[in-house]
Structure 1
Amino acid sequence: MPVPSRILVPVDLSEEALGLVQYALQFAHAFRAPIDLIHVWEPPQYVAPDLLVASPGWDSQSIEKVAVDAAHKRLRALADQVRDAPSPLQHRVVVGEAASSILRTAEEGKHDLIVIGTHGRRGLPRLLMGSVAQKVVARAHCPVLTVHLYEHSK
């Protein structure tokens, strides 16, 4: 199996995401591979993404624009926490269904390793929310490394 030359790291912007990025950076450094950090914003199923958000003294904007702008800001802050990383790091926000957007990004970007976090949900929460990591593992064109995310306070 060839050595990874481009690594995709999808993050959910949870508190544990920094640990996932730092873990992925160890692989990137060992393989001298750049990392593409992405966050996928999935439009809510029961709210139109073009629904306008407004408040007094503020220009109305679509809920999608507000959410994507907030995600960009949080993702940039996450990337800034590891800006002295030994491997090149790029980041962006993608809009769409999480698993298929990650898979499409990996194929289009010619990534040959995906490092993705899993929260380890079981039972009803997993049934209701599904597992993005499981879908990515099942359908990816390249190897996928899953990393169990956990809160450091536990």
Structure 2
Amino acid sequence: MPTPTRILVPVDLMEGSRAIIDYAVQLARPFNASIEVLHTWEPPQYVAPDLLVAAPGWNPQSLEKTALDAARKELETLIGAFKGAGPLSQRMEVGEPASAILRVAETGGYDLIVMGTHGRRGLPRLLLGSVAQKVIARAHCPVLTLHVTEEK
């Protein structure tokens, strides 16, 4: 089995994202593998992404730009905790998360995906779907999933 050289780490910027990145860093270290942390933002189905968001004293900007700017800052803060941990980069994509992860993994030539799963069951899983399950079913490379527990 070939050793990983490029690892894709999709995160949702929720609780547990730091632990997933840390696991990937520890896994990559012996192989000198590079890591790219990916966050995908899916526009809400019920609101147009070009809807303008404004507050007194601010320049109006689209919902998409506002959301992406906030997510980018959060991702930079998260990645900042891993400075000096090896080759680590970040990337943002817009679209349905599973499709975006699969597209980036395929076009980027990644040989491993390390991602979290919330382990939802029943109605929440039916309503929210499982990004991890979709990625596992269609990925061209191995996928390592880590169970992320949500703090109450």
TM-score range, shorter chain: over 0.9
Q: Quote the offset at 1:84 in angstroms.
A: 2.4
- Using structure 1 for the length normalisation, give the TM-score: 0.96
Q: Which amino acid aligns with 1:150?
A: T
Query: Which residue number corresponds to residue 137 of structure 1?
Result: 136
Runs of 4+ off more than 2 Å:
none
Deviations 1:109-148 (A, max 9, x none): 1000000100100000000000000000000000000000
- Using structure 2 for the length normalisation, give the TM-score: 0.97
Aligned pairs, number: 152
Query: Which residue number corresponds to residue 34 of structure 1?
Result: 34
Query: Which residue number corresponds to residue 124 of structure 1?
Result: 123
Q: Which amino acid aligns with 1:67?
A: A
CA–CA separation in structure 1 for the residues paired with 2:22 and 2:28 = 10
CA–CA separation in structure 1 for the residues paired with 2:84 and 2:145 = 24
Gap regions ≥5 residues in structure 2? none
Query: Which residue number corresponds to residue 59 of structure 1?
Result: 59
CA–CA separation in structure 2 for the residues paired with 1:146 and 1:15 = 15
Deviations 1:41-92 (A, max 9, x none): 000011100000011111100000000000000000000011121x200002
CA–CA separation in structure 1 for the residues paired with 2:129 and 2:110 = 24
CA–CA separation in structure 2 for the residues paired with 1:61 and 1:39 = 21
What SS does the corresponding residue of 1:75 show, helix, strand or coil? helix
Q: Which amino acid aligns with 1:9?
A: V
CA–CA separation in structure 2 for the residues paired with 1:82 and 1:150 = 21
CA–CA separation in structure 1 for the residues paired with 2:68 and 2:48 = 14
Gap regions ≥5 residues in structure 1? none
Query: Which residue number corresponds to residue 99 of structure 1?
Result: 98
Q: Which amino acid aligns with 2:62?
A: S
Q: Provide the alpha-carbon RMSD of the alignment.
A: 1.0
